[in-house]
Structure 1
Amino acid sequence: MAKRTENSPVFAIRLAQARERAGLSQKQLGILAGFDPSVASPRINQYERGRHEPQLKTAKQLAEVLGVPPAFLYTDDQLLAELLLRWNDLSLKAKKHLLKEVEVETSSKKRAGR
């Protein structure tokens, strides 16, 4: 496992969290994301250690394999990260309902603040 600290880049921390959540090794993740097997583990390790950050296209591939929205890999907001982890599990109807709830909540706060 890659060593992570509070000072690690957000992408490195989130990638490791998502990979561990998916129960994949670094090598497995790399191979499933389309990396050559000989470099799969070292590349993921470099990403998780914060030594390199992949291009957006690669980050999207990793997110797809991990079953998380790409935004999860980039957010430093813990509550948003938790919401994003659950987002893919929601039906379209539930997503629309949640969005409507957020719209109601934010518009009522705007009205109250006037």
Structure 2
Amino acid sequence: MSFDVPDDLRYRESHEWIDPETGRVGISEFAQDELGDVVFVELPGEGDAVDAGGEFGVIESIKAVSDLYAPVSGEVVAVNEALFDAPELVNDAPFGDGWMLELDFEEGDLDDLLSADEYADQIA
């Protein structure tokens, strides 16, 4: 099975992505497929600080509970509150309506992340 890996995003080995243009963060299509049906998402609040590689939340599915890891360090400037009432958006559109938060971050932090090709190789 092949998974969508958008070229314009950067990825953590732990399957989180960030859009370098918007600072929007979520989990990959591969990750949501592995988790199964998402039933709960716990996210930080606006104004909270996150550290690259540090836990920023929790995602719960019918199969497992998993920590979410920040792809970069920064300040949370927006949270997708729709996920609190409709966590299944993560399954329906992991790169769209299933986004989790937006970060104000330093551009140089992206250097430690995987490109789309590198991430695709990892999940192949």
Q: 1 or 2 for the larger relative contact order (CA 8 Å, sep ≥6)?
A: 2
TM above 0.5: no
Which protein has the larger Cα radius of gyration, Structure 1 or Structure 2?
1
Between Structure 1 and Structure 2, the one with more strand by share is 2
Task: Please give the TM-score of this superposition, normalised by the length of structure 1.
Answer: 0.28
